[in-house]
Chain A
Amino acid sequence: MATKKAAKKTPKKQTKPKAKVKPKAKAKKVKPEEKMFTIFIMGKAHKVPADATIMGAIEYAGYLIKRGAGCREGFCGACATVYRLPGDYKIYTGLACTTLVEDGMWLTQLPVIPGQRAIYDLDKLVPNVATIQKLYPEVFRCVACNTCTKACPQDLEVMDYIQAAKRGDLEQLMDLSFDCICCGLCAIRCPAEIVQYNVGLLGKRLYGKYLSKKSPELKKRLKEVKSKKFDKEYKEMMTMKKDKLKKKYYARDLES
C-alpha cells in the first residue's frame, strides 16, 4: 500500500469519463445512438446509459429510491454500494451517487449498516487512549489487514486512523478521519468488527473540544458581546433609514 498516497489524486475503481450523458434531474430515456451497458441491480439485468452513475442507473431502471440516497453529491454516506465486475473475483465498494456504472457490474445498495456506538458524556471524557479503550475496546482487535482502507470510497487511510486510535494519537485520528462520510463500508468489511467511523467521530470531538488550541481573539469577542459593547451601534443601524444605511454600506472599506 506504499504507493497509495502517491496515487491519491488518480481516480480509483473508475472507468474513463465518457463524453455524452443523460441529464441528471428529470431523467429521460436516451437517444438510440447512446452507448448502453448491461448491469445487474440486485441480480436483475437492466440496460442503462454507459455514462450514468449507479444512482442514476437505478432510477433510470425504474426504481424509486427511498433508502440509499441522501445528499446525492458524496457527502452523506447514505448510498453505500457493493459490487462485483465480470471476470474479477474482487468485492468492490463505492458510493452510488458518484460511482459510474461499468459493463456487467453486479451491484446492490446497502439500505443500512448496523454499527455499535458508545454513549458518552463528552464533558466527562479525558482525551487519551484510556477513553478509546473504554468506549471502543474492539479497536484493539484490529489485525492490520487494511481491508477498511481498500473499502473506503473517500480513499482515506482508515487502517492508519484506527492504529492512531490504538496509540491514543487523537490528532492523527482526527486528521486522517476528517473527510469520513460515515458510509460504513469499512465497518461492514472489517474482520475485527470495528466501527471505524464512530471511532473517528469520537476522536474528532475529543480533539476539537480538548486539544485544539483555543482562540484568544474569540475569547475577547465573547466578552465584548456579553458586555453589550455593540448595543448602541446596533440600535443606530436598526432604526436608520434605508437610504442612509445603503450609503453606509456602499462606503464601507474592504479588507484585502
Chain B
Amino acid sequence: MYPEYMIPSLEKVAQSRNKRFELAKSGKPVFPPMSAEEREDVLTKFHPDYKSESRRKIRLGPNKGELITTEVADMLESHARIKPELFDLSSPDYETDILIIGGGGAGTAAAIIAAQKGVQSIISTKLRLGDANSMMSQGGMQAAITPQDSPTRHYLDAMGGGHFDNKPELVRALTEDGPDVVKWLEDLGVVWDKNEDGSMQVLHGGGTSRKRMASCRDYTGAIILRTLMDEVRNLPDKITVLEFMPIVELIMDSKGRCAGGVLYNIETEEYFTVKAKATIIATGGYGRLHIRGFDTTNHYGATGDGLVMAYRAGAKLMYMDSVQYHPTGSVFPEQIAGFLITEKIRGAGGQPLNIDGELFVFPREPRDVESSAIIRECVQHKKGITTPSGRVGVWLDSPLIEMLQGEGYIQKQFPAMLRQFIRYGIDITEEPMLVFPSLHYQNGGIEINAECESNIPGLYVAGEASGGVHGRNRLMGNSVLDYNVFGIRAGKSATRYVKTVKLGKLTLEHVKDYEQALKKSKIKTDRIAPVLLPSYTPEDVRKRQLTACYEGTLR
C-alpha cells in the first residue's frame, strides 16, 4: 500500500492513462526516441559511470594504467586468501578434464556439452548449483527467429546498444547462434511461450528494432536454468558437482597454462586442489560489490570472483570501466529495494512516469540511456517521488499493460512480479510500481574471443564474467543468450583442447608474484579477494565480536 501523501500523484497517473493508452494503441512512438547526440548528453551528465570518482587507474597487472570502476580496482588490488607455500601440488585432491567454476547458466551449459562428448568435468560452485543470476532472469532471451527479423539485424541492434564498442566476432557468434540455442533448449525440455500455431511469442526489449524477446512467462531464467541443472544431474558419471566449494585461486602449470584451481569449502573451511586440463570461468557478475552504494538485483554470490582470480593469473580484462544499472529496480516498499522489475514490463507497454503522471522518455531506450533519463528526471527536473525512507523514484505504469494487452495479461505473463508486490498490498494490475535504477550487470569482464579463449592457454571464460560481447552496455535478453551461446562454445572449445594438452608441473607462483607486485606498487591494503560473500553484519554486532576472525567479509 502506498502512503497517503503519494495519492495525488497516483491520481495524476490514472488521469493521464487514457490519453497515453490511445497514443500507444495508435502504433506511433509514445515519446520521441533520442538521437545520438541526446543519448550522449544524458549519459555524460547523469550516468553514474561518468562521475569522476566512479573510476580510477589500476596500478598493477595486465590492465595497469587503465581506468577501471573504483570498487573493481579495489578488489583487484587486494591480497589472496591463500598462502601458496601451504599447498602440496604434487598430489592434487581432485583430477578431471575440465574444471568449471560456477554453477549458473554458462557453467551448466558447458558441462552438458562436454559430457555429451564424453569429457569429464567438475563444477565448483559457491552456493548450491543454480544459486546464480541465471536463475533470476525474468524477461527473456533475444534470438532472431521471426520472418521479419534476422540475425544480422540482431547484430546491428546489439552493436548500437553497446555503443559500437562490442567485439564484432563475439556479437556475430551471439546473434548467429541465437536460433540454434532456442532449439537446443527446447530439445532439452524448455517450455517457451508460444502462439497458437507453435511460433514463438516475442516481445520488444530496450534497444530492439524487432520483437525478438523469447520468454517462459516471467520465470525465463528459472525454467532454463532448472532444465540445464536437471540435465547435469542426469549425467553423474561425467559431471561432479561440488556445492559450497568455491574456487579461490587458479592453478597454473610450468608452461604458463591454466591447470585447475584451489577449492575452499566454505562450511568446513578446508582447502582442496583440483588438477584440470582446462578451466572454464563461469562465475557471473559483481552486483554484490554494491558499486556506488547502489542496491542490486543480483544473487548473494555475485562478487566478481572470477575477475580477480583470472587477473592474478595474467588474464586481460575488457571494459571494466562500465557498469550496468537496470532502469527499473524497485524502490518501494523498502524490503524489496533494488529488486528487479523486468524490462518486459516496458516491452509489454508499461511506461515510466514522473510525479505529474507524464512520460519523460521513450520507454525502450537502451538501458544506460533509460537509466540516465530516470536519474535526470529525479535529480535535475526534481520530478521524482520520494519514499518514506528517503529514496526517490518514478512510476512504472503497469495497469496500462492490462488495457493494451487485455485483462488477465499480468497474471498470466508476470506472475512473479504480481507476487512480489501483492505481498505488500500493492496490486500492480491496478497501481503502478515505484522504480529507480539498480545495480544490475557487469558489462565488461575477462576478454575472450569467439572460442571463449582468454589470453591464458587452457583458460576459457563464458557468461557474465567475460568481456567484449556487449561493449559498454548490454541489451536486455542478450545475456541469457550470452551464457547459452558462450557456455556451449566454451564447452566445445575446452573439450577439443583437453584432447591434446599434456600438463607440466603445477604451480601457484603467480599468486606469490602478484603479492610481490602489490608490494612493488606500494599498495597497502587489508582487503582480501575473492570476496565470496558480501557482509550484511551490522556494525554494532561486529563491534561485539571481539574474538571473531574475519578474512575479508567472511568470518
Pairwise interchain contact A221-B197, C-beta atoms closer than 8 A: no
* A-side contacts of B197, CB under 8 Å: 213, 216
Contact with A along B187-227 (1 / 0, CB 8 A): 11111101001111000100001110000110101110011
**Nearest residue in B to A64 (C-beta to C-beta)?**
B555
**Nearest residue in A to B534 (C-beta to C-beta)?**
A25
With contact pairs A74-B419, A119-B234, A120-B234 given, residues A174 and B191 touching in the complex (Cβ less than 8 Å)? yes
Contact with A along B334-376 (1 / 0, CB 8 A): 1111111000000000000000000000000000000000000
Pairwise interchain contact B222-A25, C-beta atoms closer than 8 A: no
A134 adjacent to chain B (CB < 8 Å): no
**Nearest residue in B to A16 (C-beta to C-beta)?**
B425
In whole angstroms, how far apart are the Cα atoms of A117 and B233 in the complex?
A: 9
Pairwise interchain contact B415-A179, C-beta atoms closer than 8 A: yes
A24 adjacent to chain B (CB < 8 Å): yes
Task: For residue B436, give the distance in angstroms from its CB to the closest CB of chain A.
Answer: 13
B270 adjacent to chain A (CB < 8 Å): no
Of B83-91, B164-172, B397-405, the one with at least 4 CB within 8 A of chain A: B164-172
A249 in complex: contacting residue of B148, B156, B172, B191, CB < 8 Å:
B156
A256 adjacent to chain B (CB < 8 Å): yes
B540 adjacent to chain A (CB < 8 Å): yes
B146 adjacent to chain A (CB < 8 Å): yes
* B-side contacts of A248, CB under 8 Å: 156
Pairwise interchain contact A119-B199, C-beta atoms closer than 8 A: no
Task: For residue A128, give the distance in angstroms from its CB to the closest CB of chain B.
Answer: 15
* B-side contacts of A238, CB under 8 Å: 168-169, 172
Pairwise interchain contact A205-B189, C-beta atoms closer than 8 A: yes
A33 adjacent to chain B (CB < 8 Å): no
Interface residues on B, range: 35 or more
B226 in complex: contacting residue of A25, A64, A182, A237, CB < 8 Å:
A182
Pairwise interchain contact B221-A75, C-beta atoms closer than 8 A: yes
In whole angstroms, how far apart are the Cα atoms of A206 and B157 in the complex?
A: 34
Task: For residue A152, give the distance in angstroms from its CB to the closest CB of chain B.
Answer: 12
A254 adjacent to chain B (CB < 8 Å): yes
A52 adjacent to chain B (CB < 8 Å): yes
With contact pairs A24-B337, A234-B176 given, residues A209 and B188 touching in the complex (Cβ less than 8 Å)? yes
In whole angstroms, how far apart are the Cα atoms of A217 and B200 in the complex?
A: 8
**Nearest residue in A to B540 (C-beta to C-beta)?**
A29
In whole angstroms, how far apart are the Cα atoms of A72 and B230 in the complex?
A: 22
A146 adjacent to chain B (CB < 8 Å): no
In whole angstroms, how far apart are the Cα atoms of A70 and B148 in the complex?
A: 39
Classify the interface of chain B: helix, strand, loop or mixed: loop
Pairwise interchain contact B209-A252, C-beta atoms closer than 8 A: yes
| Chain A stretch 23-61: residues in CB contact (< 8 A) with chain B | 23-29, 51-53, 56, 59-61
* A-side contacts of B236, CB under 8 Å: 119
In whole angstroms, how far apart are the Cα atoms of A174 and B217 in the complex?
A: 12
A6 adjacent to chain B (CB < 8 Å): no
* B-side contacts of A217, CB under 8 Å: 145-147, 199-200
B151 adjacent to chain A (CB < 8 Å): yes
* A-side contacts of B247, CB under 8 Å: none
In whole angstroms, how far apart are the Cα atoms of A256 and B159 in the complex?
A: 21
In whole angstroms, how far apart are the Cα atoms of A75 and B218 in the complex?
A: 11
| Chain A stretch 202-219: residues in CB contact (< 8 A) with chain B | 204-209, 212-218
Pairwise interchain contact A73-B333, C-beta atoms closer than 8 A: no
| Chain B stretch 518-553: residues in CB contact (< 8 A) with chain A | 533-541, 545
| Chain B stretch 445-502: residues in CB contact (< 8 A) with chain A | none
What would 9 A/B residue contacts be, using CB atoms closer than 8 Å?
A20-B388, A71-B131, A72-B300, A215-B200, A217-B146, A221-B145, A234-B151, A234-B176, A237-B159
Name A residues whose Cβ lies closer than 8 Å to a Cβ of B. Answer: 9-11, 14, 16-17, 19-29, 51-53, 56, 59-62, 64-67, 69-76, 78, 98, 100, 117, 119-122, 154-155, 174, 178-179, 181-182, 201, 204-209, 212-218, 220-222, 225, 230, 233-234, 237-238, 242, 245-246, 248-250, 252-256
Name B residues whose Cβ lies closer than 8 Å to a Cβ of A. Answer: 1, 3, 27, 29, 33, 35-36, 127-128, 130-132, 135-136, 144-148, 150-153, 155-157, 159-160, 164, 168-169, 172, 176, 179-180, 182-183, 186-192, 194, 197-200, 204, 209-211, 216-217, 219, 221-223, 226-227, 230-231, 233-234, 236, 244, 266-267, 290, 293, 295-297, 299-301, 333-340, 388-389, 411, 415-416, 418-420, 422-425, 427, 533-541, 545, 554-555
